[in-house]
Structure 1
Amino acid sequence: MPEGHPQSKRRLIIHAGLGKSGSSAIQKYCRDHAAELRQANASYLGMFLERGDPLPGGFTSADDLQRALADDPAIEDRLVDLLSRRIAARPGITTFIWSHIALATNADLIGRVIARLAPDCETQVVLFFRHQASWLVSAYLQWGVKHKSTVGPIRSFAEWLPEAAARGADYRQVIERWRHAIAPERLHVRSYDAAPDVVTDFLGVAGLPAPAESEGALRHYQTPDPTVMTLYRLYQGQQEGEALPGPLQRTLAAHGVEKRRYRDVDPASTLPSGSAWDRFVAGFDEENAALARDYGLALTAPSTGPGPEPSHSAPAVVIPALLDLIIAMDRRISALERQLKEQQ
């Protein structure tokens, strides 16, 4: 970092997670409100330090950074170099924000990075936690189902629970590791449950102006509707190894299905069956006898009733979503056909 800079020491605010605790809302606000942050002399560095001109040694995606945190033996030097260059490239900025949920379980590494940046940059770390029960359910649906992070068939919730430790499920362990990695006064432990608006809470901790009014920032990304999650289960359940939800997620998003909320509909038939059907048919005997006598109209009673109900009705919960996809695709095909006809 350049020496002799006239302004005071810069600040780096690291939002380290946890995932499924408002991280998407914080990241979206920082992406979408760069101008407001700039007015407060603040700048968002992105999830994988991507915001700005491309830098040698940079990461290609948030997942690439997450892999590097686990596998790159030079990750400490790499992070110090990238952070230093990103900060030095913005001489008019005093506060920088970096957000990535994988940092939550890498306190020792990030603590060393913070120590090396200390001569030029004071760093604070913010962690959000929500009640374990709701967090574990949300985490399972995200990493156990939607973004399949295990090999083999999709695991049940109980089978997946041991995997949650790698995501930060032991809150005490996460907090204590950070308290040993950095000065405790630099660590901000926040309750997602107690925050009316997680973005406003984060900005307050960072010493930055809050939004003029709430934008529903508490939950930018909500767990998809159970109907949509069933689609993810059916899709990801066919994948043998770890699998991102990309192809299905893009299709659902393109047609407005992913964020829809579906009504629970009982797929069971309401038609009479068995003895109830026999009584229903017999109820017309007297009238039909009179029709035959008066008009010569001979009607034959059906020999069998409606077919039996399916023994497994659960797959029916995905039908509304499939219908949305079919209708959306039909509309697009119709529009393309009209365009083709006009060109001809």
Structure 2
Amino acid sequence: MKALVLAGGTGSRLWPLTHTTAKQLVPVGGQPVLFYGIQAIVEAGITDIGVVIGSTGDGIRAALGDGSRFGARVTYLRQERPLGLAHAVRVARAWLGDDDFVMYLGDNFVIGGISDVVRAFRAERPDAGILVTRVPDPSLFGVVELDEAGRVVRLEEKPDCPRSDLALVGVYLFTSAIHEAVAACTPSARGELEITDAVQWLVDHGRTVGATTITGYWKDTGNVADMLEVNRCVLEGLSPEIAGSVDAASEVVGRVRIEKGARVERSRIVGPAVIGADTVIRDSYIGPSTSIDANCAVYGSEVMFSIVLRDSRIEHAGRVESSLIGRSVRIVGTVRTPHAHRLVLGDHSRIEVAV
């Protein structure tokens, strides 16, 4: 059995961060979101992994390498444009051959892994297996309708009037039957080849499609709020470790990981929180549910419920909360000018200011 991991896409809901960074590489709990999916696949006993990449492919390649660090073998498959999940399967057709495979969306996060569903799929071997979960607003997702016996009846991508509250989780299991279904797909109104249409084709042609409802934690980390929530969830299971230095004037409370080369000076850190390698925290407060990446600096500031990517600096900036801060960003406090904001913003930025 193989695995197909989708790590392309534009990440438009995370602009401007994803103009230069793959959304799958944003770190939560101290490591990229993508790594959790790769680890879950390997834990399920699958080590032959194809990774579909797009315009951010160089970053994905640099992060994953040949896959040996995960105990896997990674093959990269180029998708020139993000034309849909079914299109990604079409791109990978030659590499997949006639093998069964798991398709895993690289920006999804599933607590508990996928070992159980892979084991059940191997034992029962339906033509396709899908994972679903109940959500408050199904119109944001692919929606699945089941009959009274729990059989899949209908799938629809982001419908205006959902027929159920069951959303597709970004993990699918397929036999080679999916390739005939994908070949029959035509572009949707969004101009994409939808995997929901391919699975619906299987249903309409009498193929067996199994649905497993999961009740554990699942998130599509496609927007800032969900990314921060996944970070919070991961940090709840953090094991404390201090590999860096903490001076006598500082206090570390709860589950905190301070990585090698990091320095904490005259500061208070309340976990769960991660302080990356070679980062300096000075005269500051780091609050719960915060991940600060490597080689950052926080001086005279408060940071909580936030993610700060590598090489960034926060200096005398007051309180920073519920924020996702990109790489090599500098946030500097300045003398307050009444009724004025001084801003330097990149394309597609969004800010919230007090008025």
- Give TM-score scaled by structure 1 length: 0.28
Question: Which of the two has greater strand per residue?
Answer: 2
Question: Which of the two has greater helix per residue?
Answer: 1
Larger radius of gyration: 1
- Give TM-score scaled by structure 2 length: 0.27
Higher relative contact order (CA 8 A, sep 6+): 1
